[in-house]
Amino acid sequence: MNDNKLELKRYNILKPYFSKEKNLKELSDDTQISYSTLKRWASKYRKNGLEGLKKTKRIDSSTYRALSEKALSFIKSLYDDKPDMKILEYHQETKNFLKDIGEKSVSYDTVYRVIKTLDPYTKDASEDYFAENPNEIIELESYTLDYHFLDERDNLLKKPYAYIIYDNFSQIITNFHLSFDKLSLSEILCLLRENTLKFSGTNYFNLPKEFRLNNMKISDKNLIEDVKNIYDLDIFYINNKEFKFLNFINKFQKNYLRNLLIQSNSNLPLHELEKILKEYIHNRGHKVSSIPNIYQNNLPKIEKISDMDFLLPLYSSKRKVKDMSIRFQNVLYHSPVLFRYEDYDVEIRYNPLNLSRIKIYVDNKFLCDLKSDIIEDYPISLYTFESIKNKLKNKIGNNLGFKGYLEEFQSLVRENFK
């Protein structure tokens, strides 16, 4: 088939998508062409028209074939030893290695393609493109702040991480999260879930088509595959990408945060920083209400909040039902639904940003939500939870007893949300 016939054939396949008659998932089911291939064709057509649908020769393909076994083995070993490096760093170390053994140097593209075969969830910044609709692509960037704040879990001063979530189309910050710990992929997916709830429609929720983690390494490939299969959501690590909100964060710290810290006479805790950053973001026009046409017919739809439970972290161990209750984080959660499951081992999914409810699963099937009378309806985060436990740790051994401990805990929860 010559190029002209091939590009027209590909265009006709995509035509129902461009006319918004079908989404790419439906086209994939109809044509038996993979979703990722259709997505790549559509992206190339938007950039270059019919020319983009021609069959193209891989850049530097001859160099990849000419790569020696020693060079290929070195790159693979380097990736195994240091999976979190950037492509530029892999390229530089490979060039140094080849120079030392007297072999011809290798291109950046070649090293990138080798890493890509080892990690298909990695993208180079050159593959980046802009969304055509709001909420189509959601991105996340992480920054380490320059100033120390009080970690109330152990009463030490630390530099927090600021996780910024934004809409690729509008470049508006839609959410953020502060943490003294680097987040796991499951915790990051929980942030995506919270972000999705902000875009709630009348009868459904819209997940994005793609979730990009900029200069953040992905390690849990199985979880990524599961998310793809369940929600038709692509997750990628974008390598060597410029941070879009670096200037925003720097101005926040130097022109705003520093002055507030100078005026303060004490070490500020994390929740105070959260209020400060929230106000700063809001005052600079980053509002969800500013994003037009959020709900797109071609975005994956979720009809119930519970259908997004898989985006919540799964607790590391099972818990046994006792007296229609589960003990989680040393607090009791209960429901009469558990009456029939006495002494069962159940699984827990939870939202680390809001522990007022936890979700119980039996044999991988959702059973019920559990509530704690101690926490009531307060949206207490796991961080605040652990901070309160730190305040109470000295009282546990002083004949306080479990009942007294829970009463003290409840008092501190209410105090935290005054």
Task: Provide, rounded to the nearest whole percent, the portion of the chain with pLDDT above 70.
Answer: 87
Q: Give which of 174, 183, 144, 148 is closest to 162, Cα–Cα.
A: 144
**pLDDT band, very low/low/confident/very high, at 325 (cuts 50, 70, 90):** very high
CA distances from 47 to 38, 53, 123, 131, 241 (A): 14, 10, 18, 12, 20
Tell whether the model's pLDDT for residue 390 goes beyond 50: yes
Which amino acid does the sequence have at 28?
Answer: S
Tell whether the model's pLDDT for residue 55 goes beyond 80: no
> What value does the mean pLDDT of the chain take?
84
**pLDDT band, very low/low/confident/very high, at 59 (cuts 50, 70, 90):** very low
**pLDDT band, very low/low/confident/very high, at 115 (cuts 50, 70, 90):** confident
Over residues 383-387, the mean pLDDT reads 91
**pLDDT band, very low/low/confident/very high, at 395 (cuts 50, 70, 90):** low
Tell whether the model's pLDDT for residue 273 goes beyond 90: yes
Rounded Cα distance between 190 and 193, Å, is: 5
Over residues 133-142, the mean pLDDT reads 89
For residue 119, count CB atoms less than 10 angstroms from its CB and return exposed for 0-12, middle for 13-18, buried for 19 or more. Answer: middle
Rounded Cα distance between 32 and 15, Å, is: 16
Rounded Cα distance between 385 and 412, Å, is: 10
Over residues 67-87, the mean pLDDT reads 83
Rounded Cα distance between 389 and 384, Å, is: 9
Rounded Cα distance between 313 and 187, Å, is: 6
Centroid of chain to Cα 247:
22
Rounded Cα distance between 118 and 106, Å, is: 18
Q: Give which of 197, 220, 209, 177 is closest to 309, Cα–Cα.
A: 197
Query: How far from each other are the two terminal CA atoms of the chain, in whole angstroms?
Result: 71
List 360's β-bridge partners, or say none: 348, 368
Over residues 318-331, the mean pLDDT reads 92
Over residues 279-284, the mean pLDDT reads 90
Higher pLDDT, 383 or 297: 383
- What confidence tens digit (pLDDT) does each residue in 361-379 have? 998 889 999 999 889 899 9
Tell whether the model's pLDDT for residue 126 goes beyond 70: no
52-66, 86-100, 116-130, 400-414: least confident range: 52-66
> 408 — phi, psi (to 5°)?
-65, -40
| pLDDT given for residue 338 in this prediction | 94
Higher pLDDT, 301 or 15: 15
Over residues 66-84, the mean pLDDT reads 83
Tell whether the model's pLDDT for residue 310 goes beyond 70: yes
Q: Give which of 6, 120, 20 is closest to 52, Cα–Cα.
A: 6
- What confidence tens digit (pLDDT) does each residue in 2-34 have? 445 778 888 888 888 888 888 887 887 787 777
- What confidence tens digit (pLDDT) does each residue in 152-197 have? 999 999 999 999 999 988 889 999 999 999 999 999 999 999 988 8
| pLDDT given for residue 416 in this prediction | 79
Q: Provide the whole-model pTM.
A: 0.74
Over residues 86-103, the mean pLDDT reads 88
127-310, CATH topology level:
Nucleotidyltransferase; domain 5 (3.30.420)
Higher pLDDT, 114 or 57: 114
| pLDDT given for residue 127 in this prediction | 62
| pLDDT given for residue 7 in this prediction | 81
Rounded Cα distance between 388 and 409, Å, is: 7
Question: Which residue is listed with tokens 């849990």?
Answer: 220
| pLDDT given for residue 62 in this prediction | 45
